[in-house]
Amino acid sequence: MPTTAHLRQRRSQFLERITEPVLLMAGGEVPRNYPANVSPYRADSNFLFFFADPEPGSAALFDPRDRSVTLFLRERTAEDALWHGAVPDFATMQHQHGVEHVEPVEQLVASVQRRAGGAAVRTIAVADPQATALANQATGAQVAFLDSGKVADPAVIQAIGGLRVVKHSEELEEMRRTAVVTAEAHHAAMAHTRVGVTEQELCGIVTGVFARHGCVPAYNNILSVRGEVLHNHHYTNTLRDGDIVLLDAGAENGSGFCSDVTRSWPASGAFTAEAGAIYDVVLAAEKGAIAAVRPGVRYRDLHLRAARILAEGLVDLGLLHGDPDGLIESGAHAVFFPHGVGHLIGIDVHDMETFGDAIAYPAGRTRSTQFGTAYLRLDMDLLPGMTFTIEPGIYFVPAILGNSAFREQFGDQVGWGRAEQFLAANGGRGFGGIRIEDDVACTADGAEVLTASIAKERAEVEALVGSA
C-alpha cells in the first residue's frame, strides 16, 4: 500500500493543478442480487489514487483556495459495529489519512455547499450510479459514468490524468508487487497444463494464486484454447493435443494497481513446428516494440514497429504477400493482428479509459479509421515513468478470414488459402491465437519490463508446461 506521505503528496499535487473545488466519490457497495448481498467492494480508481483502503461510500472535497482536503465518511453506528465490525472514529481517520477535516457523508450535500460558499464545484462520475447521483446533487454537475464525454469537466480530467499517467516510484513498486503474484499464477497454470485438464481448472488455479496473495483478478481472466476470441470469458473446453492455451490474466492488489499479462503455450508441452514459427514471430514483434521504448517515442510507432515485424514474419510464412511496408499501409497485417499493441496500465488495467481518449490521445491526435489500428488505445509520446502494455498477437479468426469484404479489400496481399489451412488445423478446431503481453515502464533511457520474470522464451515455456 502506498504510504500516507506519498498519498498526501499526490493530493497536494492535485490541489496545485485545480482552480476550483473538486469532489471525488469512492462509490459504495453494489448489490449482486438483494441489497445486503454485495459484490466485493472496489473503490473508484481516482479515489484509490489519493486514499489507501477507502471506506465504501466515502467522498473527498479538494479545495485549492485554502489547500484543504475534507474526507467524508459514513457515521459510525452500533448496528454497523455489530454486523461489520467497529471502525476507527473520525479523529483517528483524520490522523491516519492526514487530511484537514473529516465530516459525515450523510451531510455531504449541505457540507459541500457550505464549504464551497457559492463557488463552482467540479466532480467526476464513478461506476456506482448512486454515488454519481449524489455527486451531481452536491455539486450541481451533470456527470455520467457511461459517457466518456460527460464523465468530468475536461480541466479536471487533465489535472488528474496528468498525475496518474506518470507513475511515482511507490506506484511502480505496487506494480512490481502485482507482477510477482501474476508470475506465480502464470507459472502455476503452465505447470498444471496437461491434455485432459479443463480450462476451468486452470482458471481456478490462476485465481487461487491471486487470492492466496490477497489479490483479485484485475479483469476477468482469459484462459482459453480459443485465443482468437480476443476477450473470451468462457472456460468450457477440455485441453486436447494440438491446442494452444492462451492465458491473459493479471493480479490487482488492495492499492488498485495491477498487472496485465498474456502467455500462450501448447497443451501438449511441445509446440508443433508451425505453432513454434508463429510463436517466434509474435515474440520477435513483442521484443522489437519493447526495444524501441524510450522517452519521446510515439506509442503509435511502437504499434507500427510490432506490426512491421509481424508482417515480415507473416510474409515468410506465406500468410501475407508483398512488401511489409505496403502491407502495413493497406492494413492487411490486421487480418492476423486486429488490435492495438497495448494501452496505459496502472490503477486501471486500461488506465483512465473512463476518460475515453482524453488522456491517451493528446490534442491533435485522433484514432485511425483503419481496421485494426482503430483499436489502438494509446497515442502519446512516452515519458519516463509512463507504464503501458506491449501485446502483439497473431490470430486465425473465422469472422475475419471468412469476411468477403476483407477478401476483396486485401485481395492477393493475404494468403487466404494458407490461412484456411490454419482454420482447419488441429482436427478442425482451428489454430486459435498466440499473444504475448508484458507490462512496461518507460525509464530515462529505455524500458523496464515489470513482468519480465514470467517465462516467454519458447524452451522455457515448454519446460514449465506439465511440470507440476
Contacts to ligand GLY by CB under 6 A: 219, 248, 260, 343, 391, 437
Closest C-alpha among 76, 84, 144 to residue 106? 76
In terms of CB distance, is 199 or 248 closer to ligand GLY?
248
Residue 304 C-beta: closest distance to ligand GLY, Å: 19
Inter-CA distances, 256 with 44, 46, 100, Å:
9, 10, 24
Residue 349 C-beta: closest distance to ligand GLY, Å: 6
Looking up cell 445486503 gives: 36
Q: Does 413 bind Mn ion (CB under 5 A)?
A: no
Q: Which does 219 bind (CB under 5 to 8 A by kind): ligand GLY, Mn ion, none?
A: ligand GLY
Q: Which does 186 bind (CB under 5 to 8 A by kind): ligand GLY, Mn ion, none?
A: none
Inter-CA distances, 46 with 17, 146, 222, 346, Å:
15, 16, 26, 11
In terms of CB distance, is 248 or 462 closer to Mn ion?
248
Residue 225 C-beta: closest distance to ligand GLY, Å: 17
Which residue's Cβ has the minimum distance to ligand GLY? 248
Single residue of 103, 184, 243, 248 touching Mn ion by CB under 5 A: 248
Q: Is the dihedral of CA 42, 45, 47, 49 positive or negative?
A: positive
Looking up cell 489454430 gives: 431
For residues 96 and 87, give the distance between their C-alpha atoms in angstroms, rounded to a whole number: 12
Q: Which does 235 bind (CB under 5 to 8 A by kind): ligand GLY, Mn ion, none?
A: none
Single residue of 46, 178, 182, 389 touching Mn ion by CB under 5 A: 389
Binding mask 259-298 for Mn ion (x = CB under 5 A): -x--------------------------------------
* Contact assessment for residue 378 and residue 344, using Cβ atoms and an 8 Å cutoff: yes
Looking up cell 472496489 gives: 42
Residue 165 C-beta: closest distance to ligand GLY, Å: 17
Residue 260 C-beta: closest distance to ligand GLY, Å: 5
Assign 3-state DSSP to the chain and report helix, strand, coil percentages, each to 5. 40, 15, 45
In terms of CB distance, is 199 or 248 closer to Mn ion?
248
Here the cell at position 352 is: 483512465
DSSP 14-54: HHHH-SS-EEEE-----BSSSTTSBPPP---HHHHTTSSSP
Size of the site for Mn ion (CB under 5 A): 4
The site for Mn ion (CB under 5 A) is made up of 248, 260, 389, 437
